[in-house]
Structure 1
């Protein structure tokens, strides 16, 4: 009896401490032109019931691109969870020019973004995982690892933000519609050298999320992802960055959380190479939310 209880306890400890990786490698495709490779990936995803959201070709990162899709059951789970869980709406698939394919590991990202609502979405998340594996291949996890039970409150180190940091809030508007139109207008006008990659809007729940291409040559995603070297390019499915709306407020996850979650294996010295990126991203997202710059004395 004691041995049985010990075995059960050990199983529970191992299950609780299971480490998850942010990305899963798929089966490589025959080398071809990048747009053709992305098209082939899209067809495989559609065959498994995923809906296309868009394509992302990051400026300054010509080695690959990202296909964005979503899933009806997961959208329903996100709608039920409400709030900032809307940021989890897109499923991201990295496609490299040499034919390598990778995708965001559903359990990793849904545990991080749905947090306490994850148990109610677990069946849908497992379905997403199984269908991604059928479409693209059930490869190995990579990109680092984080214990599953730590993802809901993930923090790279004590001084850095978590998912629910107050610093994520950019601006409050008079209504959801006003916030939505402001962000849409900013993206359509290319404010801050940005373009829209995708959008998901749940008007009845007053929720919306946009994938944002950060195109500025000197300070955009090509700059900071490129400075991460091989790991930056391999984790292509981390992109694009997001801006999102909950009720009448516009948010964007702090870079010191969002980048760390996407690259958990990086050392502190490697993060120091892109130490200005979180502030640059925040400045760009503030422009999209039409946040007025505060001058000394205002």
Structure 2
């Protein structure tokens, strides 16, 4: 959290024991827990007030649930903040674990200067109430570094997004729906009359990067496309993969050096 956060908020988060807040104010990217079945997870999310909008298989024997609620959608409807409208839960049937994106971490990353602490703490508390006993992932960053995160000098920041296509919003959405008979469209989430977030299935070869740098963070997929202001954009992969894998080493990054370009190419295909 920011240095001037109230002692009350610190006490709440320390009591819950998930975000690894300490003197260095580190925030974990993921909340980890013991394995549960997909249907059970869906019910728990729904009972906590979330809407599950997609069930996706990023790797073999693993399922990502994409979920949202009115509060998250309201945040995502703000200009250039669509990616903050969803959270993700990865259920790993192989390793018998679950991993949930920490709303505080990704809220700070994707909302930037529009981050409203109370909104994302509320989501955090809902998740912990629905799934008792969650623990912090080793993937983490100092709170003050999240919004300004980039992998290294010369690498993109959050705002350095890839422009995939231009045109009327409805025409861009129609192209994604029509591409491959709509089989690659994972979800469509309308956030406002001017903004829609789409979940998109990148190619099988492209998404093999998850196996190389860690299936524990497979909630990184599906990739998302934002349709807003007559543009289709996506988070630059060199940013999105790095912020989703904050412990990624340079050596690991080099093993997937071709992936960011492949992701951008896959995302542009519906608009060609």
TM-score of Structure 1 vs Structure 2, range by shorter chain = 0.7 to 0.9
Specify every segment of 5 or more residues in structure 1 that has no aligned partner in the other structure, as ranges.
Answer: 1-7, 30-36, 291-298
| 1:85 matches 2:78 | no
Aligned counterparts of 1:54 and 1:276: Cα–Cα separation in 2? 28
Q: Deviations over 1:92-139 (max 9, x none)?
A: 0010115311100001001000111003xx222111111111112342
Q: Which residue of 1 aligns with 2:202?
A: 214
- The alpha-carbon distance between structure 1 residues 143 and 248, as it changes in their structure 2 partners (threshold 3 A), is farther
Q: CA deviation at 1:162?
A: 0.7
User: Aligned with 2:256: secondary structure?
Assistant: coil
Aligned counterparts of 2:243 and 2:141: Cα–Cα separation in 1? 9
Larger Rg: 1
Q: CA deviation at 1:187?
A: 5.9
Q: CA deviation at 1:159?
A: 1.4
Specify every segment of 5 or more residues in structure 2 that has no aligned partner in the other structure, as ranges.
Answer: 1-6, 11-20
Q: Deviations over 1:234-269 (max 9, x none)?
A: 112222111111110010111100100111101100
- The alpha-carbon distance between structure 1 residues 246 and 15, as it changes in their structure 2 partners (threshold 3 A), is farther
Aligned counterparts of 1:90 and 1:139: Cα–Cα separation in 2? 19
Contact 1:188-1:196 within 8 A present in 2 as well: no
Spell out the pairing of 1:227-266 with structure 2 (5 A cutoff): 227-228=212-213, 232-266=214-248
Contact 1:244-1:250 within 8 A present in 2 as well: yes
User: More helix by proportion, 1 or 2?
Assistant: 1
Spell out the pairing of 1:1-298 with structure 2 (5 A cutoff): 17-29=24-36, 37-58=37-58, 61-79=59-77, 82-97=78-93, 98-119=95-116, 122-165=117-160, 167-173=161-167, 175-186=168-179, 188-190=181-183, 195-204=184-193, 206-216=194-204, 219-221=205-207, 223-228=208-213, 232-290=214-272
- The alpha-carbon distance between structure 1 residues 135 and 177, as it changes in their structure 2 partners (threshold 3 A), is same
Contact 1:212-1:242 within 8 A present in 2 as well: yes
Normalising by structure 1, report the TM-score.
0.79
State the aligned residue count: 253
- The alpha-carbon distance between structure 1 residues 203 and 178, as it changes in their structure 2 partners (threshold 3 A), is farther
User: Aligned with 2:81: secondary structure?
Assistant: helix
Aligned counterparts of 1:184 and 1:203: Cα–Cα separation in 2? 19
User: Aligned with 1:244: secondary structure?
Assistant: strand
User: Aligned with 2:232: secondary structure?
Assistant: strand
Which stretch has the larger CA shift, 142-151 or 272-281? 142-151
Q: CA deviation at 1:279?
A: 0.4
Contact 2:101-2:219 within 8 A present in 1 as well: yes
Aligned counterparts of 2:270 and 2:49: Cα–Cα separation in 1? 32
User: Aligned with 1:162: secondary structure?
Assistant: coil
Aligned-CA RMSD value? 2.1
Aligned counterparts of 2:261 and 2:157: Cα–Cα separation in 1? 16
